Amino acid sequence: MALIIDGKKISDEIKAEIKQRTEKLQEEKSIRPGLAVLLVGDDPASSIYVNSKAKACQALGFHSIVKHVPETTTESEVLQIINEWNNDNNIHGILVQLPLPKHINETRVLLTIKPSKDVDGFHPENVGRLVVGLPGFVSCTPAGIFELLKRSNIDCRGKHAVVVGRSNIVGKPIANILYQKKEFANAIVTICHTAANDLSYYTKQADILIAAVGKPEIIHAEDVKDGVVVVDVGINRIDDANSSKGYKIVGDVHFPSVSQKASAITPVPGGVGPMTIAMLMYNTLLSAEGGLY
């Protein structure tokens, strides 16, 4: 039976470490980590994410600002808010909740965030730092994936890691993390995606499989080899007549069958999901502590 990698448990461990370091930072340097979040419009899912981030800040003793502005807010007004936060020494991390309304240029907004406060790790400077192996902020979900592997004592060194998905948020950065010549990484990495004529040709070669393609249960037992380590990043809603809600949440991996062949696997929900906010808090703490830039 596969080891079930408990993301909730590991994220709680990380948050406990963050809280301890936060208290030390306040005691020794009178610095309180500050995270500012901008929400434009009234997207329900975005509101839930923003509220969960604010609660995490409160629990860890962070200074937190949540600015909620109407969907009609102009791009120049959004950029003005970001520049104010860029120049505020009490703010160590800036996060703009995506997606943004169509009249606002997402790239221009992300480029305006000072790289040293880009705790989401989306600024091209931080992406470039990751590629060449320099210190910088790493996108929270892939950073969380790597922490799950490390803290589960899964060493990727010399292993064939197959990443299904090529997004800037997950696929590309986790590939870059895994091939770095450092402890627990140093893997041989293949990136594939749904344009492959035979996706299973690649997934069956994986010692470590990262599924981040956003297709419900696209990977089944016949698509993996015995003993594979599986990290399922997918969060997909599918109809379920047996559920009181009328739907259930599943990953990109068919958990019931793949878990019978895997040596370790993350569940959905409860695997990668809880790690994302934990790593956002960790990046904000790093920014407050200084030394990355």
Q: Looking at the annotation, which residues are catalytic? A: 53, 97, 120
Question: Which residues make Cβ contacts (< 8 Å) with residue 208, sequence separation at least 6?
Answer: 149, 154, 156, 159, 160, 161, 162, 178, 187, 228, 229, 230, 231
Dig out the tokens for 154 from the structure: 């899964």
| Spatial separation of the C-alpha atoms in residues 188 and 218, rounded to whole Å | 23
Q: Which of 182, 184, 220, 181 is nearest to 199 (CA)?
A: 220
Q: What is the DSSP letter of 116?
A: G
Q: Which residues have a Cβ under 8 Å from the Cβ of 157 and sit 6 or more positions away?
A: 184, 185, 186, 187
The CA distance from 98 to 95, in Å, is 9
- Closest CA relative to residue 289, chosen from 116, 131, 141, 140: 116
Angle, vertex CA 17, rays to CA 57 and CA 176, nearest 5: 85
